[in-house]
Structure formats: structure tokens, C-alpha cells
Structure 1
């Protein structure tokens, strides 16, 4: 078995983290992080959001002369999580900000999402009863289910904005996606005033 750590960037000759980050960001020009639900009925959300913002998705691999994958043309990074809740995506957002200097975060919740089929107290009680586990303090109470789409999108945009891994200049949007019509409806638009910043 090969030493799998040989396949990390840090293991490469002459690796220097401070020099690597700008090169990495140039090789993969990501501008937008998308947090959306992993429900397969909403699988076209990344393409719809990319079209809305004029982003490239899914894009193509960029190959060097030897055929190695050294870059990519996509400008949108989708993060699929339960219910499209931002709390499950903030680590990915912070990582993408660090590596690529992300300009925009988009949170999308969709119609007839499974996260609308239960309440926070209901899932906590079910875990106690069915699994003998108390998850009441394991998660942010307001990020577990979706009881109202407008409220959940505003809440999630606030979670993103308040996170220390998201610089003030990053734009934050919240959209509702209708899985039957393909319509994307803007609910939240948090665009910092860069003139007075």
C-alpha cells in the first residue's frame, strides 16, 4: 500500500503554505459557496444558483501536459447538508474563504424539504426514545428543523454573518427553491456597504 500522506500538498518538495494559497486560488477560481439540502429532488440547485449569479458550474478539470488535474474552471462550490442549514456548512465556508477568498455565500432551502416534516422538540424526543441519546445540547436548537422558510433563511444568513470565519465583505444571500417549478426566490440579500466599510 502506498503512503497515502505522499498525496498531500504539504508533502510535496518546496511546499510553502504562504506561497501555495495564492497559486491554489488561481488554479481553482471559486467565488461562491452554496449551502443547500442533500435531497436528490433538489439536485439542480447548484446549476440554478450558478445561472442566477453568472457563475460557472459544474465546470471542467484543467490538465497539465502530463494529464494531471491541476485546476478547475468552476466558480461555485456546493456544500450539501441536511435541510440546507448553514450551521452544518460554516466550517466549509471558513475553509473556502481561507483558500480562495470567497466573495459570496448562498443558502438555499427548498419546498417540501424533509426538515419541514418534524419539529426540533420532536426529533430530540425521538432520539431519546428510539436511540437512548440526548441530542438537545448537541446542535443549535434553531438550526435543526424548518418551521417557516422565511425565518429559517433569515436565521441561517445571520448564522453565516455572525461566524468569525466569514469576513465582513462577503455577500450573503438566502433563497427559496421550488422543486416542482425550478423557481428561485430571493428572501435574504445581505450585501455589505463597501463604500463606507
Structure 2
């Protein structure tokens, strides 16, 4: 992404004003009438920040005529589990999670870059930060399906992911609009 954005923040503020005045309805509170924090759906989706990839759309969260789904979505570069870990653990602690769904997608920007190409760009941008850059993993993807397996394995062996949590991994095909299941781990040890 370029530093020279085609948009200014004025555009999103104006669009928010339009949304708030014409579309928005108040959202339900997280606490019920007795002050008890509501539990979540138990499922959590991790997906990419790519603006073409909108899980709420391709997973059918708001299909007309069907009950809307309220499933939290964490969006991080490449949909990589390592980058989402703090959010997954925090949401589990507060709301309880029983299933984590990892979704990577075809034509992801991280499939067109390597760790080294990302580091080279950053070294130009931050010449005095070579050590920090070298010690950072950005999640470049060489093999899309393997990246999903790797992320599921990363979560499986993370000491902060409860063993009862079901882990599922998919690839979303941007041409067909379909998910392909890559791997699933039920209760894991």
C-alpha cells in the first residue's frame, strides 16, 4: 500500500455520518439486563485484511431471509494465526471460544512476496532498524494450503490455546467464492 492514499479521512467521516443518519440502528449491549456479560457464539474467524476479502459476505452472515450470524472476525495480514494470537486468547478469556476458523485466500498479497522482499522494503524505509526487521516474521506464504496447515499447527502447540478448542483451516477461492477445507483438529493434546 502506498503512503499516497487515494482517500482522505474526510471521506470515511462523511460516509459514517451518512451511515449513522440513514442506516444505523442501536446495537445490543454486551451485558444483559442483570449486568451479566453475554457469552459469544463460541466460534471465531481469522481472515486477511485484504479489502476484497469480506468474511461477513462470503460466509453469509447477512443473507436476506436468514437469521444473521454474529461471529467475531479477526482480520490480520495474510489471515495468519501468529498475528491474531493475542486477539484469539483475549476473546477466549472474555467470551469463551470453542472453534477457531482460519481462512487464507487465493491471490493474497503475502503469496506474492517473500520474507526477504518484505524485509528489503522495510530496511529502505527504516535504515536504522535492521536488527528489529530481521527478527520479525511477516508471514509470507510460499504454499497456500501449507500455510493453513502451519497456522493450525501453530495454534495447536500454543500454550495459551485451550486443548478443547476445535481448529479448522480453509482456503477461500476468490474466483469461485467457495471455501475448501484444508484441515481440522478436534480436541488436541
TM-score, structure 1 length as denominator?
Answer: 0.68
Query: 1:17 corresponds to which residue?
Result: none
State the distance in 2 between where 1:47 and 1:32 align. 16
Show structure 2 runs of 5+ residues with no match.
Answer: 1-34
Query: 1:11 corresponds to which residue?
Result: none
Query: 1:34 corresponds to which residue?
Result: 45
User: Cα distance, 1:75 vs. partner?
Assistant: 3.9
For residue 169 of structure 2, the aligned residue among 171, 174, 180 is: 174
For residue 151 of structure 1, the aligned residue among 146, 167, 170 is: 146
**Partner SS for 2:107:** coil
Q: Give me the CA root mean square deviation.
A: 2.3
State the distance in 1 between where 2:149 and 2:170 align. 10
State the distance in 2 between where 1:164 and 1:58 align. 35
Query: 1:183 corresponds to which residue?
Result: 178
2:73 maps to 1:78: yes
**Partner SS for 1:157:** helix
Show structure 1 runs of 5+ residues with no match.
Answer: 1-19, 52-56, 60-72
User: Cα distance, 1:148 vs. partner?
Assistant: 0.5
Query: 2:56 corresponds to which residue?
Result: 46
Higher helix share: 1
2:17 maps to 1:24: no
Deviation digits for residues 35-59 of structure 1, max 9, x if unmatched?
Answer: 100111111x23444x5xxxxx369
**Partner SS for 1:25:** coil
State the distance in 1 between where 2:98 and 2:86 align. 16
Query: 2:83 corresponds to which residue?
Result: 88
Runs (4+) of structure 1 moved beyond 6 Å?
A: none
